[in-house]
Structure 1
């Protein structure tokens, strides 16, 4: 005789025994069950231990006759159909007094709660949690062990990192630093360690580089919070006897070039920060620019030369003497050197194919050059108050950027298209970009847009560089001695934002995915929000003009005419 209790649907009369459910599990169910009575969930759901202990304790206090009566009532209710259960409950509740109804209400409020995440497949639960923000996700992890397991899963935090790292989240407005340089350094060190032998003699073929995505998010979130609140550690040291003209920063060293004709390399490790590692000598006049690519360093000078150094050993590898005037700007990507001089001439030297050619469009000194898109494009700025985008394959000007009324000192690419942009009309007033196009009729259908060079073609032309992950800038940002910083649309050449706050000329500029760092003749450095154009913070402390700045994911550095360096660490 089968003594197993029957299982009833909450909305039907048909019953099944547990064995019948097992035998019919492969057949499609013809009844709809609630989550409490569903045969797939009923017998795998964990009982409430505290409630069962309390129930057993109260049952033990009863006499044998009372126990049998209670057990009989439970058995009758358990074997009743859904409609019969409803009638029994109504009858029982109608006989209850107020305290008993209050007690029943408190029990029902707890029993009616449904933990939907424990009932759904883990994949769907993970997908639901991935829509929460970080604060809500941490709160969810404290609900119970099951929720903690789901909320701390790598799949959820990978999605969180994907939404925030190196971009601004559209939901919360936060963005987290990429910290790509630190990651590459750690990867190379771990790879080197992976070649060593284990203690048991076996070899390590692969380095273990994996970390929980929650830890990755936490690390970057702390840095971003420090940027927002201004919490940092400041290191100051006197680097040169004369003013510092240029600087470059890597993950572990800072390189400075000065009017005293020397280049110095400084340690940036936290315990030895500011320690001089080596001094490079060889230029006979002021060092005006430098660029770092891997283990090589390129420097330019007013002595008309460019020198390529091994930055690890300090050895001079080669000297380029193609300019007839002082070289004031330089960029280097490992195979191509771009440089600009005081005569307005830009020279491009390609070490891979031994080619060298000149570009000329600026009137006056070329104050900055920047190689883009795997050296297929070049951005330059000069004393003629213009920025110019060049196509190095055709040696032609792609676009000119005008709007400044004084020499443009720096021009840099801006990657990303989520800027809150404004444009200036003919009267100098700032208006919304869409309103400007509607008012002037210069939308995408304008004939002037039809004549512009198709900037998107550069990805397909250089497929080798496109597949290596090079990104196209959507804007360029420039600094000028007219005290302003401007952002231009790279496709139209139109100025979409003017950032004002410095009271003297802006000599130095750097930009990342979230911030803009500027240095000025007024002895201050300012950090701006790239998306909104608002000034976030002003830094003082330098004596003399701030000639050069550098912006990293977790730090920034400024240097001035007094020869001092100020390093701000946000880790």
Structure 2
């Protein structure tokens, strides 16, 4: 039996590729049966109609069987003792003290006995039935009897309930795939799904209450323009011309990539303070002021000091790192030097090629398995072949700097200082829709995962949500007191995270436009980038520090929601052992 990740089960041999078996497939052990989709609904309806048509007619009183050997066959129902219509229909040994009297057959009354049907079912069927309940109902069901409690404790019950209740999304077009790093763990035989369900419920509650533990990561020496993160790491790009890779579990900085004049000539000051302590560390601020012995608020605690590896490849950026994106294979960065660089993550972030065509700073980029899309201060958008680095198209139509781009399938959304949001077809290179309504220049735009919605914001301090299909503005939120610099759409939860020059980070409900959370002044100046996942918000700004707001830090067993394999971290460990050989090949200084 194979679990497909969407609440369905298929069989590899006998039933494949038939979508549904003709007859019920018996369960085995703790596995529930497979019930055919066509189960005689028409016959049931006909029977129900026949029953209703004879309502009101006198029924012939059934004859009481007299053979003693007929008793005791509980599965076939032969052992049911029939009495007159005024007596209770009870199987021997199953009399319940709580008997209800209802209108019965004909003009007389029949006693109806409450029967514990779960205890009478085969265990695999009982599991299948109870797995249709949500957590609250399961908790109630476990109080019915010891047998019900035993069935409810089965991991299959909680797995099915979790995958049904906790994998639905706001705007992704599909259920969350287990093991994809989105808060739904891999399907493993030893998972405690009841505990996983509890952890997810508590995490959702922390999001509703805004209960997050803050941590600052220090190490950069100038503004941090861009970042991306997953369950294991954060990658940041800065005005100090470096790219840094951080371990999100330990808060250690693992790698610094930069030009030789920064990494080689300033290597000591890049790693150590004047007192000899490592400059890369985590700062744990107190949520409320804590007074020291002198009666003054104590300084924030510094912890998790680290000394990263240094990499100075011959192929590097000569100016600020303004934008970046990565997946499991590559990292792409864009810079004020008007170029992009593609790095091979699987080979210790070895630079592979430079993308060069823009005539001014590359302000944003996006890529998928086929294309890399970049936008620039030169008011153009370029489409590149991911595998070869060949430029395929240059899109023109904006009248100002193109500040943001994002891809969904063969569609690009862009926004510009010309007040406009545009939708482009990658195949034709044509603008297919324009969204008008903002009164000032735009700084950021985001697609929902399924391509249904677009969020945009900028200097008019307003966030607008657009229907990508009709061009209609479906929602408008007065968001901040200054320019909205960053937007991030979480298409799973429906949360929209915004960051502003007013130094605030806010969380909104995409569907209603309702403000959910506000984190004011956690940055001392402009917020330049803010992103989120199922557990954290990570942001950066004009000051050289990264803010991590962890909603799961205080939750026991929160790591149970994570993907089991730490592919990227393992990969990093392997390449660290061979970094010297790569350094010689790429001209890297360590």
TM-score by length of 2: 0.63
| Alignment partner, residue 4 of structure 2 | none
Shift in Å, 1:261: 1.6
In angstroms, what is the RMSD of aligned CA positions? 3.8
Is the Cα contact below 8 Å between 1:177 and 1:553 reproduced in 2?
Answer: no
CA separation in 1, counterparts of 2:404 and 2:82?
A: 72
Correspondent of 2:377 among 327, 335, 342: 342
In the alignment, does 2:524 pair up with 1:546? no
CA separation in 2, counterparts of 1:179 and 1:26?
A: 42
Q: Does 1 or 2 have the higher relative contact order (CA < 8 Å, sep 6+)?
A: 2
| Alignment partner, residue 404 of structure 2 | 368
Instruction: Identify which range, 524-533 or 548-557, moves more after superposition.
Output: 524-533
CA separation in 1, counterparts of 2:80 and 2:95?
A: 26
Shift in Å, 1:212: 4.8
Q: Structure 1 residues 344 and 179 mapped into 2: Cα distance closer, same or farther (>3 Å)? A: farther
In the alignment, does 2:196 pair up with 1:160? no
Q: Structure 1 residues 19 and 396 mapped into 2: Cα distance closer, same or farther (>3 Å)? A: same
Is the Cα contact below 8 Å between 1:255 and 1:264 reproduced in 2?
Answer: yes
Is the Cα contact below 8 Å between 1:179 and 1:553 reproduced in 2?
Answer: no
| Alignment partner, residue 327 of structure 1 | 362
CA separation in 1, counterparts of 2:178 and 2:460?
A: 33
Say how many residue pairs are matched: 417
CA separation in 1, counterparts of 2:75 and 2:364?
A: 76
CA separation in 2, counterparts of 1:25 and 1:411?
A: 63
For structure 2, the residue ranges without an aligned partner over 5 or more in a row are 1-60, 98-110, 260-315, 553-590
In the alignment, does 2:492 pair up with 1:483? no
Is the Cα contact below 8 Å between 2:456 and 2:463 reproduced in 1?
Answer: yes
Is the Cα contact below 8 Å between 2:63 and 2:82 reproduced in 1?
Answer: no
SS at match of 1:16: coil
Shift in Å, 1:133: 3.8
CA separation in 2, counterparts of 1:24 and 1:537?
A: 58
Correspondent of 2:498 among 488, 502, 518: 518
In the alignment, does 2:171 pair up with 1:182? no
After TM superposition, list the pairs within 5 Å mapping 1:463-502 onto structure 2: 472-502=450-480
CA separation in 1, counterparts of 2:465 and 2:362?
A: 26
Q: Structure 1 residues 310 and 278 mapped into 2: Cα distance closer, same or farther (>3 Å)? A: farther
| Alignment partner, residue 69 of structure 2 | 19
| Alignment partner, residue 503 of structure 1 | 481
Shift in Å, 1:177: 8.2
For structure 1, the residue ranges without an aligned partner over 5 or more in a row are 1-10, 49-107, 170-175, 188-206, 416-471
Q: Structure 1 residues 384 and 118 mapped into 2: Cα distance closer, same or farther (>3 Å)? A: same
Q: Structure 1 residues 25 and 378 mapped into 2: Cα distance closer, same or farther (>3 Å)? A: closer
Instruction: Identify which range, 491-500 or 222-231, moves more after superposition.
Output: 222-231
CA separation in 2, counterparts of 1:326 and 1:177?
A: 36
SS at match of 1:550: strand
In the alignment, does 2:560 pair up with 1:561? no
After TM superposition, list the pairs within 5 Å mapping 1:67-466 onto structure 2: 114-119=115-120, 129=130, 132-154=133-155, 156-167=157-168, 180-182=179-181, 208=188, 211-269=191-249, 272-281=250-259, 282-311=316-345, 313-352=348-387, 354=390, 356-373=392-409, 376-415=410-449
CA separation in 2, counterparts of 1:528 and 1:25?
A: 56
TM-score by length of 1: 0.65
Larger radius of gyration: 1
Shift in Å, 1:352: 4.1
SS at match of 2:181: helix
